[in-house]
């Protein structure tokens, strides 16, 4: 029950792990106070003094408990890693739409001047990778076994697959799948898809997109959702790029065939939106 979050605070060589029952949907709100105030709020206390267990007060308590390990990527809704020694911040949470995502990330960049601010597109798995921990125990067990690309209505979708065929033709596939389906995307699976749409105009910016160029053997991905380990072992038959949360490279690759509403103004100056910790190394 709740919206669980993990926090990591690194300072003067000491690493502290924390957990909050209700912090997952307010990560940006907690971090917008800046490095010192946010660290003070999110640093796990030893000893923590929560209300008595099995009480209503305990269920509503929003404090940060010290823990020994991170949650798995199914349970962890949001999180942050604050590294004072390297002046690096990683953060993630779920946002309602693309504009809110851009606004949230821009807010962090402005509130943490002089820091390297990055979005953790793989959620808690990126926090684990930064710490040098094994991510395998944190992976959700129900990763997809195939890549159906569940067809969505042309005017409503969660993601868009765009495929530039070897002959130069472009096929567009709106889908209800989430980005975790990318764990099993292969060239053969893409080639097996039936004809897509030649053009697609959406009323909202989707939550993720994948562009595949079959002649160049390249694939580019952007997302505002967690990847859930989808690209930990990317298919070896393509060269992969992670565009972070930046939809613009896919729009350019589609050369006008994919149309979305005007993008948020704050996106233009937000270079960090395409700076993501992948491959996941510190």
> What is the average pLDDT value for the chain, to the nearest integer?
87
Q: 77: closest CA among 236, 228, 213?
A: 228
Q: What is the pLDDT of residue 178?
A: 84
Mean pLDDT of 203-229: 93
| Sequence spans of domains, the chain | 5-138, 159-274
Question: First vs last Cα of the chain: how many Å apart?
Answer: 32
Q: What is the pLDDT of residue 234?
A: 74
Per-residue pLDDT tens digits for 24-43: 999 999 999 999 999 999 99
Per-residue pLDDT tens digits for 102-150: 999 999 999 999 999 999 999 999 999 999 999 989 987 766 666 567 6
pTM summary value: 0.89
Q: What is the pLDDT of residue 280?
A: 42
Q: What is the pLDDT of residue 279?
A: 45
Query: Tokens representing 266?
Result: 């704050």
């Amino acid at each position: 029950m709740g919206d669980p979050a993990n926090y990591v605070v690194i300072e003067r060589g000491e690493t502290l792990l924390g957990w909050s029952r209700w912090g997952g949907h307010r990560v940006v709100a907690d971090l917008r106070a800046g490095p010192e105030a946010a660290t003070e709020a999110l640093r796990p206390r030893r000893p923590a003094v929560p209300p008595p267990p099995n009480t209503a007060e305990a269920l509503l308590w929003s404090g940060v408990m010290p823990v020994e390990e991170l949650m798995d990527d199914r349970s962890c809704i949001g999180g942050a890693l604050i590294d004072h020694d390297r002046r690096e911040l990683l953060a993630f949470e779920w946002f309602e739409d693309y504009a809110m995502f851009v606004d949230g990330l821009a807010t962090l960049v402005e509130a943490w001047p002089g820091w390297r601010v990055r979005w953790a597109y793989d959620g808690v798995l990126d926090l684990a990778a930064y710490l040098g921990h094994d991510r395998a125990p944190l992976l959700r067990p129900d990763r997809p076994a195939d890549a159906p690309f569940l067809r969505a209505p042309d005017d409503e979708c969660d993601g868009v697959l765009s495929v530039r065929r070897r002959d130069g033709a472009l096929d567009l596939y709106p889908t209800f799948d989430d980005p975790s389906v990318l764990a099993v995307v292969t060239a053969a699976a893409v080639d097996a898809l039936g004809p897509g749409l030649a053009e697609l105009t959406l009323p909202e910016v989707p939550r993720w997109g994948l562009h595949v160029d079959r002649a160049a053997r390249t694939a580019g991905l952007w997302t505002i959702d967690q990847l859930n380990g989808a690209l930990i072992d990317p298919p070896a038959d393509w060269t992969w790029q992670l565009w972070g949360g930046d939809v613009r490279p896919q729009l350019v690759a589609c050369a006008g065939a994919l149309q979305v509403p005007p993008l948020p103004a704050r996106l233009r100056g937000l270079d960090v939106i395409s700076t993501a910790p992948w491959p996941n190394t510190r």
